[in-house]
Amino acid sequence: MAFPYMEAVVGFMILMYIFETYLDKRQHAALKLPTLPKPLEGLISQEKFEKSRAYSLDKSYFHFVHEFVTILMDSAILFYGVLPWFWKKSGEFVVLVGLNAENEILHTLAFLAGVMIWSQITDLPFSLYSTFVIEARHGFNKQTIWLFFRDLFKGICLAVILGPPIVSAIIFIVQKGGPYLAIYLWGFMFVLSIVMMTVYPILIAPLFNKFTPLPEGELRHKIENLASSLKFPLKKLFVVDGSTRSSHSNAYMYGFFKNKRIVLYDTLIQQCKNDEEIVAVIAHELGHWKLNHTMYSFIAVQILTFLQFGGYTLVRNSSDLFRSFGFDTQPVLIGLIIFQHTVIPLQHLVSFALNLVSRSFEFQADGFAKKLGYSSSLRAGLVKLQEENLSAMNTDPWYSAYHYSHPPLVERLAALDEQDKKED
């Protein structure tokens, strides 16, 4: 008797939903607490705390609904054989338009087109509500409905342009890969990730946002001096018009080798009281570079990608696995989808482990900025970002440990204080 893979996958998905809903309820209870955590008293105003609490609770209620609908749909799609039915219909569509359904690439692209239409339709109500109700209610949304749909259209166009050649290449590699399939797949994805990391900030990101050089002045001078003192090869320093879509703030860096760039959100510049707070945030980001966190993370992702492809090659010819999900044939894309579902338990464990590593990196980057003399400015900058983004002030420790890749503000301030005590 064949192992009931599909039933096992659906069962685990439901178990994980129950577990994560339990964590969500713990977090919801923490968000309802009427007072600030003791370490934040005197740092965060009561007005900001109340706004943060209201915003976080709104997002929490929305999350409960969204997750419930998602698990219902995902379970039903697998349990009632929607995937094999849709695969069959997409083959019929290929024949209908006069193409050869025996060509797996054409069949797969038709299938993916249908999946994309379905996902856009089902996701749209949630995206609209999140953007134009929750984000707008709390003063974050700056988008017009026109800009929202323009971005959506651009995203679909990019998927239509970039998706077919990538999918076609993957199917070709699987069909011709032989015993070295995992290595070929990993090699292709490695090259693709390098190309996308190079192309995205130059060609794709500007389709959605405007990047302008940071004007000459005190702030630019301080950031360039900091980068120079760390031998950071800063090529360009940009401001992005994040305020056209949201009043949330951020900063990030990207680029390979000697071609590094730093991007500041215009909202970050508007919100921070002085240049030192912004420079302290940049010092934290440069800490990730100096301590090789970016490289370690990239290597970890490459190892995990290779292991996933290795696992896929072990099961891609398992007729029992495909039959369990309702398939008589063994299409490449369907095999990848099914494999992803069967390794969900491992993915959750890996995700949790990566979060723990990421949190450790954040503490180290804070410590790096502190050693550069930005301790008080970093504290002020972190508090300001927490306030202006209305981030959750009270967090449940279990929820935080499972979900957060960045430690809560209370923990980051406590870690900085602990370093002060050790130095004293």
Helices (DSSP H) in 132-180: which residue ranges? 136-137, 145-176
Q: Answer yes or no: 92 catalytic.
A: no
Nearest to 109 by CA among 159, 151, 153, 74: 159
- Gap between the Cα atoms of 178 and 184, Å rounded: 9
In this structure, the number of other CB atoms found within 10 A of the CB of residue 289 comes to 18
Is 66 assigned to a binding site? Answer: no
Whether residue 219 contacts residue 279, with contact meaning beta carbons closer than 8 Å, is answered with yes
Q: Answer yes or no: 285 catalytic.
A: yes
The helix/strand/coil state of 265 is: strand
Taking every pair of Cα atoms in the chain, the longest distance, rounded to a whole number of angstroms, is 78
The C-alpha angle with vertex 369 and arms to 366 and 370, in degrees rounded to 5, equals 85
The helix/strand/coil state of 132 is: helix
The helix/strand/coil state of 67 is: helix
Token pair 């974050």 is at which residue? Answer: 140
Q: Is 295 exposed, middle or buried (0-12, 13-18, 19+ CB in 10 A)?
A: exposed
Is 418 assigned to a binding site? Answer: no
Whether residue 249 contacts residue 268, with contact meaning beta carbons closer than 8 Å, is answered with yes
Calculate helix-pair angle for 344-369, 332-342, nearest 10 degrees. Answer: 70
Sheet containing 211-213, strands listed edge to edge, beginning at the edge strand earlier in sequence: 211-213, 234-240, 260-265, 251-254
The helix/strand/coil state of 261 is: strand
Which DSSP helix (H) or strand (E) runs through 370? Answer: none
Annotated catalytic residue, options 135, 276, 285, 388: 285
Annotated catalytic residue, options 366, 387, 396, 411: 366
Nearest to 397 by CA among 414, 385, 384: 414
Calculate helix-pair angle for 82-96, 332-342, nearest 10 degrees. Answer: 160
Is 288 assigned to a binding site? Answer: yes
- Gap between the Cα atoms of 362 and 284, Å rounded: 8
Please enumerate in sequence order all residues whose Cβ is within 8 A of that of 59, keeping only pairs 6 or more positions apart, or say none.
134
The helix/strand/coil state of 133 is: helix
Q: Which residues are catalytic?
A: 285, 366
Feature table: binding site: 284, 288, 362
Binding-site residue numbers for Zn(2+) are 284, 288, 362
